[in-house]
Chain A
Amino acid sequence: MISLDCGDCFDIWRGQARQLLSHGIAPCAVTWAGAGGDLFASAGPMPLGQGPRQPRVPAQLPGLLCQAARYRGEQRWSLLYEVLWRVAQGDRSAMLAGSDLGSELHRRVKQVRRETHHIHAFLRFVPAAEGAAEDAAVGAAGPQFVAWHEPAHDVLGDACEHFIGRMGQARWLIATPRDGAYYDGQTLQYQRHCPAAWQHLAQGGDDPDGGLWLAYYRNLFNPARLNPKALQGHMPGRFWKHLPEGPLIPALVSDAQLGKRRDGQAREVARLKGKRVGKG
C-alpha cells in the first residue's frame, strides 16, 4: 500500500495521480492520508520517475476533478483517483452522474458549487477598524473592509475573483479558520494558512453603521407569510451566527407566530403615526 500526503492541495495531488497512473498502479494499492497518516497502512514506496503508460482522459475530466477536490470529507482524494483510474481504463461512465462512482463525484461537485454560492451570498464585509494596517501586516494602507467566514469546503480561493469584481479598487481582507485572502486594490495575496493577525482583525471590531441593514431586514419581512422552514432550507443555521441579521430571526419568527400574522406591517412601523394623502 502506498500512502501519500498532498497537503489538501489539488496541484500536488494531480502530480501524484499522474505519476501513479503512468505506472499503472490501481486505486486499491494507494491511499491518501491526512497529516496524521493512515494508521493501518504499511507504507510502500512510490515508484520513481514517469512510468511507461500515458493514458488519455476526456478534456472535461480534469476540471470536474478540480471542482470535486474542493470538497472536504472522507476519501477526499482516493475517490478522485478511482474515478480517474476507471476513466483512464476506458470506463467513461465513471464520470457521469448516472453511475455509482460518478454519482458521488457529482454530488461533491454540487456541494462545492453550493458552498461557493454560500460564500458569495452570506459573507459580510464590515468597515475595518482604525490602524488595521499595522495589525494585519499587509503593507502601508491596510484593508478598508474585513470579513470572517466559515465555509464547509475549500471555496475561498475560487471566490476571491468574485469579490475582486464586486469591490473595484477597495482594499479588503477575508479570513476563515483555514485560509485567508487580502486584496489591496490591485493584487491578491492568498494564504493557504490564514495568519492569526488576519483572523483576529476579521473577527473583532464594532460597526457603528450596522443598524441600517438590521432595520431594513426587520421591516422587509411579511409576518402574514411566515415560513421559517423555507428560511432554514435556503440559509442553513450554521451561517446565522456570523450574519448580522442572524440574531434577529428567532424573535421575528416568534412575534409573527404570536399574533403578528394578521397583516403584513412590521411592528415598528405600526407604532408610528399614520397619514392620509389628499387628492392632489
Chain B
Amino acid sequence: MELIDKLSILADAAKYDASCASSGAPQRSSKGRAGLGASNGMGICHSYTPDGRCVSLLKVLLTNFCLYDCQYCVNRRSSDVPRARFSPEEVVRLTLDFYRRNCVSGLFLSSGIIRSPDYTMEQLVRVAQLLRETHQFRGYIHLKTIPDADPLLVEQAGRYADRLSVNIELPSEASLRQLAPEKSAASIRAAMGTIQRGELSRQGQPRAPAFVPAGQSTQMIIGADTTDDSTILRNAEALYRGYQLRRVYYSAFSPIPASPASVPRAAPPLLREHRLYQADFLLRGYGYRAAELLAGPGDLALDIDPKLAWALANREGFPLDLNHAEALQIARVPGIGLRSAQRLVALRRQRRIRYDDLVRLRCVLAKARPFIITSDYHPRQADAPSQWLRRQWLEAPRQLGLFP
C-alpha cells in the first residue's frame, strides 16, 4: 500500500480523538543546532478543518488493526473498515516533512491494540525514540498510553513525550463494562497513576530528565451512554484533583460507519459538548466547583452558558460593586472574563470604574448589566426575578416556517 493511502486511512481513523493541543511544552530551540523543531509552551493551530477544529499536530494511528471491540469505536475488530499499518520510519518521515513545511508543530500518535498492550506501547515508544534520538526532533510529541502496558514502557514513553494521555473513554464504570468489555476502569486509572508517579518523582529535582512536561490528559465520550452532565463534571473534577490532569477532553459521540445497535445513530450533541467545555473551563480557570455548577443530578442548561446559569441561581451575591470587589469575584460576573477582571482592578488603582470602561474593555454587557454596580451605574433589573432575566437573553419567539 502507498504511503498516501495509509495516511488517508489512519488519519480518518484517528479523528475521533478530540485533543490536538501543542501547548505546555518547555522551551526548546534548534537555533544553530543539528536537528529540527522548537517549542515554547504556546500551542499553534496551523490550520482548521471544516468542522472548526484546530490542526496542531500530525494526528494519526500507528495502525487501526485492533483486538478490542469497543462499541463506540470505528476501529473495533468487528468494524468493516479498511485497515492499514505504518512502520515507525514512515510516521517519522511524515512528521518531519509536515513539520518542515510548517503544517504542524509535532506528532500525536495513538494506535489500535495489536498482539498485546506491551507490544503496541513498544511500537509507539519506538517512534518517539527515533524522532528524539536519531533525528533530534525538538517539536511536540503526544503519545497515547495503552492501559495494561508495562509501567516501565510508560516511564520510557514519558521521557520522550511532552504529553501522555490515557482515555477514560466513558464517564461511568457500568457503561465501560457494557460498551468496552475489554477495558477496565481500574487499569485505566492505574495507567494514570503510573504517569502521575513519574511526574511526582521529578518534583523538586530540576536536574532529573524531563518527564511529560506538558502533563497528562484524557478524553471522555459524551452521548454514547446515558450519563448526565453532573456525573461527568464530578468525574472530571475528581480526575483533575486525583491525577493532576491538565485537561479532560469531551468528545461528542459522532455516528460511525457500520454502527452497532448498542450506540446511538443520532447526530453528535455538539452544543452539549460545548457547554461541558465551558463548565470545565470554569473548574480549571475560575475556581468553580462542580457542585456549584450543578447541585444535583441533571444536565447543564443548553440555552444559556454555565456561568450565567450559576449567576442566575445565586442572585444573593449580586449586583456586585466593581469598585470594591476582589478580582476573582468580578470574574464570576457573566460577561466579564478573568483578564478583564484583572484589567479593571489595575484601572481601579488610577480612578473609579465607570460603565463606559466596561464597554471599552469589550465586556459582554448584555449579560453583565443586571449583575454590576459602577460609580455611575446601578442596574434597574437588580430585583427582577431570574426567570424574567433569563427570558430576556433567549431569542424572541419565531413563527415556524410553513415548509420545514
Contact = CB atoms under 8 A, between A and B. Distances in A.
Interface of A: 92-93, 96-100, 103, 117, 120-126, 145, 147, 162-170, 185-186, 209, 211-213, 215-231, 233-235, 243, 245, 249, 252-253, 256, 261-266, 268-270, 272-280
Contacts of A225: 51-53, 252, 254, 268, 270
Contacts of B53: 221-222, 225, 230
Contact of A224 (B29, B30, B268): B268
Contacts of B101: 124-126, 145, 213
B357 interface: yes
- In order of increasing CB-CB distance, the 7 nearest A-B pairs are A230-B52, A168-B30, A274-B80, A98-B347, A227-B52, A165-B38, A221-B49
Given A225-B252, A274-B81, 16 more contacts: A96-B343, A97-B347, A165-B38, A166-B36, A212-B94, A212-B97, A215-B8, A217-B55, A262-B255, A264-B16, A264-B74, A265-B12, A270-B257, A272-B82, A274-B79, A275-B81
B80 A212 contact: no
Interface string B78-116: 111111000000000010011111110000000000010
A154 B351 CA distance: 34
Contacts of A120: 44
10 contacts: A97-B347, A167-B100, A169-B33, A211-B4, A217-B47, A222-B254, A224-B254, A228-B52, A276-B77, A279-B67
B160 interface: no
B7 interface: yes
A265 B103 contact: no
Interface stretch (B58-66, B142-150, B235-243): B58-66
B15 interface: yes
Given A125-B102, A165-B31, A265 B257 contact: yes
B37 interface: yes
Nearest to A218: B8
Contacts of A169: 30, 32-34
A203 to B, nearest CB: 16
Contacts of A117: 44
B185 to A, nearest CB: 22
Contacts of A266: 8, 12
B16 A124 contact: no
A126 B97 CA distance: 10
Contact of B343 (A97, A162, A249): A97
B9 A98 contact: no
A222 B82 contact: no
Interface in B15-32: 15-16, 29-32
User: Which of B31, B83, B351 neighbours the largest number of chain A CB atoms within 10 Å of its CB?
Assistant: B31
Interface residues of B, number: 77
Contacts of A123: 102
Contact of A264 (B15, B30, B50, B361): B15
Interface of B: 3-5, 7-9, 11-12, 14-16, 29-38, 40, 44-55, 58-59, 65-67, 74, 77-83, 94, 97-103, 115, 139, 252, 254-259, 267-268, 270, 343-344, 346-347, 350-351, 353, 357, 360-361
Nearest to B36: A168
A231 B360 contact: no
Contacts of B74: 264-265
User: Which of A99, A120, A147, A280 neighbours the largest number of chain B CB atoms within 10 Å of its CB?
Assistant: A280
B354 to A, nearest CB: 9
B138 to A, nearest CB: 8
B103 A124 contact: yes
A229 to B, nearest CB: 7
A121 B20 CA distance: 14
